[in-house]
Amino acid sequence: MVPVSERLRSKAAVRTKEIAIDGDTFCVREVGADDFAEYGKLAKADSTQATAFLLAACVLDEAGLPALSKEDAAEVSKSARVTMPLVKAIMDVSGFGEEEKKADAG
C-alpha cells in the first residue's frame, strides 16, 4: 500500500496546460497557494496589478520557466483579449475551472 504522504505529493505535482491564442500556443502552470494568496490580496486593491502578478507567476516559456517579467506581464495584462484566456487556463489547471466544479458535484 502506498503511504498517504506519497500519494498526496504525487497529487500535488504542478500541472500545466497549453492554450491557443490567435494561432499561437502558450503554456501556463497552476497557481501555488502562496501566489494565489498574494493574487487575492492584490485583487482587492488593483485588479490589473493582480492579473499582471498572476501572469508573471504562471505563464511559462519553452523551458518551463516563468516567461514574463513584471513589466512584460503589466503590458500583456492591458489586453483583455489576451489576458482572459490565459487567466481562465490558469484557473482551470489550478482546480478553479468548470471541469473541476463538475467533477466535485458528481
CA 16 to CA 59: how far, in whole Å? 10
At 15 the pLDDT is 96
* Per-residue model confidence as pLDDT tens for the chain (106 residues): 999 999 999 999 999 999 999 999 999 999 999 999 999 999 999 999 999 999 999 999 999 999 999 999 999 999 999 999 999 999 999 998 765 445 554 4
The superfamily in CATH containing domain 15-105 is Phage tail assembly chaperone gp13-like (3.30.2220.20)
- Residue 77 CB-density burial (10 A; 0-12 exposed, 13-18 middle, 19+ buried): buried
At 65 the pLDDT is 97
Side chain identity at residue 95, one-letter code? G
Write down the pTM of the prediction.
0.86
At 97 the pLDDT is 74
